[in-house]
Amino acid sequence: MRKVIGTLVIGLVVSVAGGRVAWAQAAPAAGAAQARTTALALLTKDLPNIEGKEVTISEISYPPGFASPAHRHDANTFVYVLEGTMQMQVGGGEILTLKAGQTFYESPSDIHATSRNASATAPAKILVFMIKDKGKPASRPAN
């Protein structure tokens, strides 16, 4: 089943075109270059059976050693690691290290405390599915 879902996700990424969009304000980890994450908006679609809600799908690329500051999404957020190794943490929870093919979930009330490329030498890329209030930003600072 996992292979089927991964194949569907990859197929969706390949078949949907989009443009570059802003994502969480980001800062390099200690010693990392002054690079930023890049976000490619793949899809934004109203959910007709859930008034006022939309789904967004974005591909986020993290340069080596890069970490985003704490932020929140105010959305049901589903993350699928496409390549590389990411470290993720919500609130005071455990820091999870995720490799390609693994997933992560954030609830609308979570603070995304850690979102970091675990490698100092290789880029990482994630696919992000969000169900959120229509027209609201994908991310905002934690405080």
Question: Residue 27 and residue 24: Cα distance in Å, rounded?
Answer: 10
Whole-prediction pTM: 0.76
Q: pLDDT tens per residue, the chain (143 residues)?
A: 444 334 333 333 333 333 434 344 344 445 544 578 999 999 999 999 999 999 999 999 999 999 999 999 999 999 999 999 999 999 989 999 999 999 999 999 999 999 999 999 999 999 999 999 998 989 989 88
Task: Please state, in angstroms and rounded to a whole number, the distance separating the CA atoms of residues 124 and 132.
Answer: 25
Tell me the CA end-to-end span of the chain in Å, nearest whole number. Answer: 39
Rounded to whole angstroms, how far apart are CA atoms 121 and 33?
11
The pLDDT, as a whole number, for residue 35 is: 73
**78: which residues sit within 8 A by CB, 6+ positions away?**
103, 104, 105, 128, 129, 130
Dist. CA 30–CA 139, nearest whole Å = 23
SS3 at position 40: strand
Q: Residues 54, 88, 31, 82: is their CA dihedral positive or negative?
A: negative
pLDDT number for residue 34: 58
